[in-house]
Structure 1
Amino acid sequence: MSPKVSQEHKEQRRAKLIEAAAEVFIENGYETATMKHVMDKAGVSRGGLYQYFENKEDLFREVIQGNQEKIIDGSLEKLIKQQSSYWDVLLVIMLGDKKESNDKMDPLSPSKLEYFVTRRNDEKRREYARLRYFDAFEMTTKIIERGETAGEFIPRFPIRLIAKSIISYIDGLALGHAILDSRTLELKEQTTLLLNYLKWALGVEEE
């Protein structure tokens, strides 16, 4: 039993370190944040942090990997069962459980932009960015394809283009929000515009 408890403790400690790191990156951005900031936030020693993560980049990847949940067949099926339509599944993916337009953006977006843009010529980071992009693309495409098969969606454009337009629009809003405030950006209004476009592009019938 002891090894099991010990492993459970390690997993809990690791999760707490990732949570503390997320707060640090939100507060300081990627470039300014340091491992010392994370140690102070989590209340751990240098050894207590480096036991789990090699460096800041390793830690940041763990933060954003957890932030971008991968939906595989099993978990997608679970999500579909929880929602009344494939449209609602898309809304949950884009907007969260409330499925409503709002003036909130992922607070980690500025740090993600710093990480991927400041060293965009770093091949390892470019490859990681590509993997994340295609994870999102595959997930979105799969949902739309399921909706089309079910007769809920009647796409006006190739599904791959609709999926890519969703990602591009959201990424564009994230970039704007990293520089401007929600009111200036009219984030809620632009999100509503995106949803109206998607309803038209997907041929979603109004209730």
Structure 2
Amino acid sequence: MMSPKVSDEHKEQRRRQLLDAAERVFIRKGYESATMKDFVEEAEMSRGWIYLYFSSKEEIFAAIVERMDADNTKQVENQLAQSSSMWETVAALLDQQKEDLAESSSSMASVMYEYFISGWRSEERKAQLAGRYASGFGIFTTLIEKGIERGEFKPTLSVPLIAKIIAAQLDGILTHTLAVGHEQAEVENQIDALIAYSKQLLGVVHP
């Protein structure tokens, strides 16, 4: 007797359920301490179901990061649709970091920090980090270039350098937040200062 065919929709639902469970485990236990057994128990699935989708913790982590990146891309697109200017988009995305950083110690941000710091000797992780770095300042590069095309920005430095400065500042604020906490890192003040500095670097013509 043939086993019933599982629909694609059901498979995708199971996959989301597994990734949601794995994300909770990573946040609770950290990357290094989390195990496939933890994911099985948290998702309340059989090991067979989990290994149908992923063969390792590394694959699950990569899938969660990919989902986060897709959500971030959607956030940028939504902000572009809602904003009347490119500067408004840039400022709003930076301002959103106040809320994101307030939750950083209990989000995947702390797990990703652990992943890259603990694996800094790994060539694979270094390559992944380089890719994420390029992606991070790539978003700002695109926004700045669009602002220049529209005549909204007259930057004082090269576009790639400004994008790297913004991305590096955000990474630094995240590191401070994870190290000493949101309040002591003065996240709101740092972000406000970064917004003001970014406006100066971009030479905003239409604020």
TM-score band by shorter chain is 0.7 to 0.9
How many angstroms apart in 2 are the aligned matches of 1:56 and 1:206? 48
Paired amino acid for 1:178:
L
1:148 aligns with 2:145: no
Q: Is the 8 A contact 1:110 1:175 kept in 2?
A: no
Shift in Å at residue 78 of structure 1?
A: 6.4
How many angstroms apart in 1 are the aligned matches of 2:108 and 2:78? 27
**Aligned pair partner of 1:104 in 96, 102, 106:** 102
How many angstroms apart in 2 are the aligned matches of 1:93 and 1:58? 29
Following superposition of structure 1 onto structure 2, how do residues 123-134 of structure 1 map, counting pairs within 5 Å? Answer: 123-134=123-134
Unpaired runs of 5+ residues, structure 2, are none
Q: Is the 8 A contact 2:94 2:195 kept in 1?
A: no
Unpaired runs of 5+ residues, structure 1, are none
- Residue equivalent to 2:19: 18
How many angstroms apart in 1 are the aligned matches of 2:142 and 2:123? 28
State the aligned residue count: 200
User: For the aligned residues, what is the CA RMSD?
Assistant: 2.5
1:63 aligns with 2:64: yes
1:43 aligns with 2:44: yes
Q: Is the 8 A contact 1:105 1:174 kept in 2?
A: no
Question: Percent of aligned pairs with the same residue?
Answer: 34
How many angstroms apart in 2 are the aligned matches of 1:20 and 1:131? 26
Q: Is the 8 A contact 2:147 2:153 kept in 1?
A: yes
Q: Is the 8 A contact 2:137 2:166 kept in 1?
A: no
How many angstroms apart in 1 are the aligned matches of 2:111 and 2:11? 27
1:187 aligns with 2:187: yes
How many angstroms apart in 2 are the aligned matches of 1:133 and 1:56? 23
- Residue equivalent to 2:119: 119
Q: Is the 8 A contact 2:156 2:203 kept in 1?
A: yes
TM-score, with length taken from structure 1: 0.85
